[in-house]
Amino acid sequence: MVVSGASIGRGSNVANMDVSTTILTREQIRKSPQIFLDQMINKELGVWTSQVPANQLDPTAAVVSIRGFGASGGEKVLVMVDGVPINDGYFRTIDWNMIPRDTIEKIEIVRGGGAATLWGNLAAGGVINIITREPEKGELRVGGGYGSFDTKVGSAAATLFHNDTVKVGVNLNTIYSGGYNLTPENLRNQFTVPTASHTNNALISTYINPWEGAKFYVKLNAHELIQSGVGLSGATNAWYKYDYRGGGQIKYSNTGSVNVNSFFNYSEMNKHNASLVGLNVLKPETSQTATQAVSQVESMPYLSYGGSTYLQERMHGAWGTLRDIKVGVDVRGISVSDHNTIYSGKGFGLGGGYQFAAIDIAGKNMFEGVFAQATYNPFDMPLDITLGLRQDWWQSYSGNIAQTIYNAPVAGDRDGFNHGTVKTSGQLRANNQIFAQFNPRLGLKYSFENGIQLRGAVYRNFAAPGMNQLFRTYVSSSSATVGNPSLAPETNFGQEVGIDFISEKIKTKVTFFHNQLGNYINRVNVCSNNPGYATCDAATLAAFGLAGSGLLTITNNQNIGSAVIEGGEASIEWQALETLNLNFGIIRTIGYLSSFSSDFAALNASVVAQGNTPLQVSHKQLPFVQPWTINAGGTWLILPNLQFTFVIRSWPVYYSDTQHLVGQRLSAATTADVSLNYQMSKRVSLYFTAQNLSDKRYLATNYGTSTATLPTLGMPLNVMGGINLSF
């Protein structure tokens, strides 16, 4: 008995959906070349995560994108574990480090918004669901690995109790890495160091079958990610997450069941950022007298909680079959508190530094949805017609941004952390928002006897702005990035059509998609002392709670207009030999701003009128959207107990802004990962992986240099070997 609430399809077979899907099995996951889950996910067609592994990234940058949704303007892809959202409550990003590979049973991926009727917010770009394993009878295993950059991996799993009614298991995982330096060599100085990271996870899983036709589960997870040297040697991150997720299914007949789940997550991130004093970025060799300074100390505790329940049924009559009938409700809440202290000067107790600003942020968001969906099979024809209806609500309330900016302390009072008198103090209180939208979908799938399937879907969905976009604020001595509590959710109307061919040895899929986004969100300068911008006058500063601060630049996120994301994808899987499986995929993604909102159009026009480059440009490729991506891979069973796996991914240069200026290009790469897995005996297996075999270069922002002198950074070769033991 499978608890259907854990699946993307909520009881439906994901492989049979009328949109583009992928399922990664436990065996594929176990033998993949990638040690980190995010690097495995980003090798799937249409899916993008940073090429820098999540344990090396600042957690606020770990976004995931599908078909161009999510890498620009905030996360728009829903990621779940066991049917429970794990998008961070504050940033909407994904902490991939909290999901060890050996805890995973399978991964389900739905590209596009075809599953949004069942899941609501954030499913506009797609859904990724990670289903974890159940405890196995008598299981006791340990594993370990060692690789480049002093990377150490350790894992252990044991079944503590197992009978026909109750299963209890525990899984422990730890990863340490000394890290590698992400700063290009020509921009390094004595303070740029690798990001060392340490991840620990502990998971306890309990499954209960109290009577025939009933099954429940409870999972408790503790996770921590500790990073040091985040950009500079004095910077650290400490991220802690503790979560409960549980659910179950009760079958009341041979065809009907009631499904429930609930979750609660407490997260806390503590950031300690550093800056440099006396450093020339373009000539670091002349800056050996530079010193580090405390620039920011931030503590962010926040909560995510919610649950869902739905009824599933199947009906058959002379008129045909209604299957996968689902009627249900779901709810999610997020509560955030953010305490941010900004410092100026040398700091670290060396004298000359002082507290520059204190910012306190609070806010709450709630999501509710009512949904119904069913698939109709008329008169046993090979035709599936799926109709989904969903009503969504979103509320943002209790938003408050309190800001205090201080003068420098008088001589004798400076010890690196004190502050002087208050320069300005203000609050930006948010008006409560309520958003409601009806989100239907219609899908068709027709299967011919020769293995050809035609499919298509039309759907509507939305993605609410992140709590960080609504409320998070950061202030420096000359500028401020301020939350925008008035942001409206992005909306999307999507369509896709596809054709599949499935035979004994070949599986092909071709899909074309088109999406029209409204209220597209991106960051813009509201006012600035640079030519062409509106001046940050007293009225503008007062509107942001910064009256009297004297700041020269204000930036925030805005609903800048409408956008289009469209393209096509094709994939083929070929069982060339009994021992050789090959696959290839290609995706073309076109994304552009199609029109501006009236407020942003006026701001953009004022910049252009002064002879400056516009803030945003319409009908140019959206930032962080790769125009082409190619995937290839395969598995070769060299011997009955020795398997070789390879994955290749390639993409051209893409841009960080719609302006497409020199220096804004981000990366062009072809990367290859390989692994060998050797099953020495029933209880002992060995593995070897090598990642980033090709020469891969990243183009950073040019710091005012010419194209010829853009700093480059190739991702380093990363190898690891390890052993897994079962007892």
pLDDT given for residue 348 in this prediction = 43
The secondary structure of 526-548 as a DSSP string is EE-SSTTSPP--HHHHHHTT-TT
Identify the pLDDT of residue 640.
Answer: 94
The answer to whether residues 713 and 696 touch, using CB atoms and an 8 Å cutoff, is: no
Q: Mean per-residue pLDDT for 527-542?
A: 85
Span of 255-259, 404-408, 482-486, 625-629 with lowest mean pLDDT = 404-408
pLDDT at position 226: 96
Q: Which two tokens stand for residue 645?
A: 């796996």
**What's 722's DSSP letter?**
E
What one-letter code names the amino acid at 550? Answer: G
Look at residue 699 in the predicted model and tell me its pLDDT. Answer: 55
Q: Quick one: pLDDT at residue 608?
A: 87
Strand 628-639 versus strand 580-596 pairing type: antiparallel
Q: CB count, 10 Å around CB of 268?
A: 15
Q: Identify whether the C-beta of residue 146 lies closer than 8 Å to the C-beta of residue 152.
A: yes
Using a pLDDT cut of 70, give the percent of the chain over it: 92
Exposed/middle/buried for residue 1 (C-beta within 10 Å: 0-12, 13-18, 19+): exposed
Rg of the chain over Cα atoms, rounded to whole angstroms, equals: 26
pLDDT, tens digit (0-9, with 9 covering 90-100), for 243-294: 999 999 999 999 999 999 999 999 999 998 887 776 555 555 555 556 777 7
CA 211 to chain centre: 39
> What pLDDT score was predicted for residue 711?
54
- DSSP letters spanning 465-515: PPHHHHH--EE-SSEEE---TTPPPEEEEEEEEEEEEE-SSEEEEEEEEEE
Percent of the chain residues past pLDDT 90, beyond the cut: 66
Q: Are 510 and 570 in contact (CB under 8 A)?
A: yes
**Contact between residue 623 and residue 565 where contact means Cβ atoms under 8 Å apart:** no
Is there a contact between 439 and 98 (Cβ–Cβ < 8 Å)?
A: no
| Pairing between β-strand 667-679 and β-strand 684-691 as defined by DSSP bridges | antiparallel
CA atoms within 13 A on the CB side of 582: 4
Residue 397: CB atoms within 10 A of its CB come to: 14
Alpha helices in 116-268 (DSSP H): 116-119
pLDDT at 352: 46
What is the spatial distance between Cα 55 and Cα 268, in angstroms, rounded to a whole number?
A: 17
Would you state the pLDDT for residue 281? Answer: 52
Helix, strand or coil for residue 463? strand
Q: What are phi and psi of 29, to 5 degrees?
A: -65, -45
What is the model's pLDDT at position 4? 66
Q: Is the pLDDT of residue 350 over 60?
A: no
At which residue do the structure tokens 């002379």 appear? 318
Q: What share of the chain is helix, strand, coil (3-state, %, to 5)?
A: 10, 55, 35
List the single range of 300-314, 376-390, 686-700 with lowest mean pLDDT. 686-700
Instruction: Give the whole-angstrom CA distance, residue 88 versus residue 489.
Output: 17
Span 561-612, pLDDT tens digits: 999 999 999 999 999 999 999 999 999 999 999 999 998 998 888 888 888 8
- Mean pLDDT over 184-211 rounds to 89
Residue 349 confidence (pLDDT):
42
Q: What is the mean pLDDT of residues 681-697?
A: 88
Question: pLDDT tens-digit profile of 475-516?
Answer: 888 899 999 999 999 999 999 999 999 999 999 999 999 999
**Mean pLDDT, range 45-74, rounded to an integer:** 87
Nearest C-alpha neighbor of 584 from the set 648, 666, 539: 648
Q: Residue 133 pLDDT > 60, yes or no?
A: yes
Which helix or strand (DSSP H or E) is residue 297 part of?
strand 291-317
**What does pLDDT average to over the chain?**
89
8 A C-beta contact, residue 469 and residue 483: yes
CB-CB contact of 102 with 30 (8 Å): yes
Residue range 350-374: mean pLDDT, rounded: 87
Amino acid at the residue 318: A
Which range has the worst mean pLDDT, 353-362, 559-568, 659-668? 659-668
Q: So what's the pLDDT on residue 609?
A: 85
Longest Cα–Cα distance of the chain, Å, equals 90
Residue 619 CB neighbours (<10 A): 10
CA 154 to chain centre: 25
Question: With contact defined as beta carbons under 8 Å apart, do 538 and 547 qualify?
Answer: yes
Dist CA 33 CA 30 (whole Å) = 9
Average pLDDT over residues 182-194: 79
- Distance (Å, whole) CA 101 – CA 87: 18
Beta-strand pair 553-577/479-481: parallel
Mean pLDDT over 389-403 rounds to 95
**Burial class, 693, CB count within 10 angstroms (exposed 0-12 / middle 13-18 / buried 19+):** middle
- Is the pLDDT at 2 greater than 50, yes or no? yes
- Mean pLDDT (whole number) for 304-328: 93
Cβ(281)–Cβ(711) below 8 Å: no
Residue 675 CA to residue 672 CA, distance in Å, equals 10
Of 299 and 59, the one with more pLDDT: 299
Question: Smallest Cα–Cα separation from 359: which of 297, 304, 414?
Answer: 297
C-alpha dihedral sign at 600, 602, 607, 608: positive
Q: Which of 579-583, 626-630, 653-657, 678-682 has the lowest mean pLDDT?
A: 653-657
pLDDT of residue 52: 86
* pTM score, whole prediction: 0.94
Closest by CA position to 120, among listed 74, 73, 87, 91: 87
Torsion of CA 34, 40, 44, 49, to 10 degrees: -120
- Give Cα separations from 482 to 476, 485, 606 (angstroms): 11, 9, 21
Q: Please name which of 5, 43, 310 lies closest in space to residue 129, comparing C-alpha atoms.
A: 5
Class of residue 671 by CB neighbours under 10 A (exposed 0-12, middle 13-18, buried 19+): buried
Q: How far, in Å, are 139, 313, 337 from residue 376 at the CA level?
A: 42, 12, 47
| Selected residue with higher pLDDT from 528 and 668 | 528
Q: How far from the centroid of its chain's Cα atoms is residue 190's Cα?
A: 32
In this predicted model, what pLDDT tens digit does every residue of 64-108 receive, in sequence order?
Answer: 999 999 877 778 999 999 999 999 999 999 999 899 988 999 999
Q: Where does the pLDDT of residue 234 fall: very low under 50, low under 70, confident under 90, or very high at 90 and above? A: confident
DSSP code per residue over 7-70: STTTTS-GGGSSS-EEEE-HHHHHT-S-SSHHHHHTTSTTEEE-SS-GGGS-GGG--EEETTBS
Task: Output the pLDDT for position 285.
Answer: 54
Name the fold adopted by 4-726: Maltoporin; Chain A (2.40.170)
Q: Which of 113-122, 283-292, 293-302 has the lowest mean pLDDT?
A: 283-292
- What's the burial of 253, exposed, middle or buried (CB within 10 Å: 0-12/13-18/19+)? exposed
pLDDT reported for residue 255? 93
